[in-house]
Structure 1
Amino acid sequence: MFEQIRNVYCVGRNYRLHAAELGNAVPDKPMLFMKPSHALVPMDGRTIGLPSGVGEIHYEAELVIHIGRSYEPGISVDELVDKMALGIDFTLRDVQTALKAKGQPWLPAKGFLQSAPIGPFRAFPGIARAGEGTFHLRKNGQMVQSGQPRGMIFDLQGIVDFCAEHYGIGPGDLIFTGTPEGVGAVADGDRLQLYWNDEPAGDILISVK
């Protein structure tokens, strides 16, 4: 499923209330980090294993866009993005807090195996229609996160332009575009289900051992 995926970019603090809930300042430009492609795992009902003994593991539900062609200055998102999905940016929150205090990179907290589960791709409907959609995450049947792409601090066009200018972007790249408020911890046996509007968009069972 992921053989053609190249780079996995992630946008941090792209919803104001999420930044606030973690006590972080709102950035003045897109804040990007990366996950290895090996972090990807399908959200197809399977059980995924997450590390134990590392403190809290937080879910962060996100819209994910797939780059379908080469970037050119002035190209629109509608021309560049061919499909989208919903995914989860799992974060070892206690590990991240310790790394931030030391000024060290986030890779141990963000890039571990199976830290980027992603649901099935669907055709990208265009930036206008995507912005009007709503995605949400249910944990054990209870809604815990809900967001709309139009609520992002940096919109999809701004994200891809910034990414292309500073790091490069091309076919097969993914961008996790940021999470809304409501992040929280997962535990062994939790079921996480993603929805785009009212349509199922990913399902996993958590094993922490």
Structure 2
Amino acid sequence: MQNPKIPGFDIPVHNIYCIGRNYEQHVKEMGSPIPKMPLVFVKPLGTICYNDTTISLPIQSNDVHFEAEVVVAISKSGKNISHGSAMDHIAGYGVGIDLTARDIQKLAKKQGHPWSIAKGFDDFAPISEFSPVSEIENPDNMDIKLFQNGFVKQHGNTSEMIFPIPNLITFLSKIYTLHPGDLIFTGTPEGVGPVSSGDKLEVLLNNGVKSLTVNIG
């Protein structure tokens, strides 16, 4: 089976790196401490799905939450990438939703166990089509909004990130060799909340430069 491709580019998805607690107000709403370095986790390839997908809620969870995020697509390989050259490794930008089974995550944290399952169900990482870097005027000032059934639930801007995008690329590349097709979910702003069957979620990048709509089945 072939890897899913990044919409807008003829690049298969390679790895999916996700950053937790990267917006201060979200950290506060979760009751967590401000991180001193990026909090990194990964998602399996089966979490990737696309615009207009209907996502089935897993029977193992009664509390799935949405987390809207700006997503970075990597264009070329690199290891120990310098801060000054980090942006040269980006193919483009899109939006995604890091769906999280919050009840499973809370139980795992309480027991001191990894919480990969909470983030890893099929279709738990829907992504939009991506814009090439040439179409994004200022990556440090990208606006992101999530609507749930037409109501704004999340509204953030990349200028609010605790660890900006070049910092994330540099940090990740010191641990992992980055490859074309790697995706970086850069963290979610405040306002995360639960989804229910029948919900419609829409995420906008820069007021609609790119958008993602999914339905909850």
Smaller-chain TM-score bracket: over 0.9
The corresponding residue for 2:67 is 60
SS of equivalent residue, structure 1 residue 171: coil
Match of 2:154 among 138, 142, 145: 145
The corresponding residue for 2:8 is none
Unpaired segments ≥5 residues, structure 1: none
Considering only aligned residues, what root-mean-square deviation do their CA atoms show, in Å?
Answer: 1.6
Residue 168 of structure 1 and its aligned partner are, at CA, apart by: 2.2
Seen in structure 2, the aligned counterparts of structure 1 residues 163 and 11 have a Cα distance that, compared at 3 Å, is same
The corresponding residue for 2:191 is 182
SS of equivalent residue, structure 2 residue 31: coil
The corresponding residue for 2:91 is 82
CA distance in 2, matches of 1:2, 1:84: 17
The corresponding residue for 2:9 is none
The 5 A counterparts of 1:124-139 are 124-125=133-134, 129-139=138-148
Residue 52 of structure 1 and its aligned partner are, at CA, apart by: 3.1
Residue 47 of structure 1 and its aligned partner are, at CA, apart by: 1.4
Q: Is the 8 A contact 1:9 1:175 kept in 2?
A: yes
Residue 197 of structure 1 and its aligned partner are, at CA, apart by: 2.1
Say if 2:49 is the partner of 1:41: yes
Residue 24 of structure 1 and its aligned partner are, at CA, apart by: 0.7
Residue 166 of structure 1 and its aligned partner are, at CA, apart by: 1.2
Residue 53 of structure 1 and its aligned partner are, at CA, apart by: 4.8
Match of 1:110 among 104, 111, 119: 119
Query: Sequence identity, in percent?
Result: 37
Residue 198 of structure 1 and its aligned partner are, at CA, apart by: 1.8
Residue 131 of structure 1 and its aligned partner are, at CA, apart by: 1.5
Q: How many residues align?
A: 206
SS of equivalent residue, structure 1 residue 77: helix
CA distance in 2, matches of 1:159, 1:128: 19
The corresponding residue for 2:182 is 173
The corresponding residue for 1:28 is 36
Q: Is the 8 A contact 1:78 1:127 kept in 2?
A: no
The corresponding residue for 2:214 is 204
CA distance in 2, matches of 1:78, 1:128: 13
Structure 1 segments of 4+ aligned residues over 3 angstroms from their partners = 125-128
Q: Is the 8 A contact 2:22 2:163 kept in 1?
A: yes
The corresponding residue for 2:14 is 6
More strand by percentage: 1
Residue 128 of structure 1 and its aligned partner are, at CA, apart by: 6.7
The corresponding residue for 1:163 is 172
SS of equivalent residue, structure 2 residue 49: strand
Q: Is the 8 A contact 1:67 1:172 kept in 2?
A: yes
Residue 101 of structure 1 and its aligned partner are, at CA, apart by: 0.8
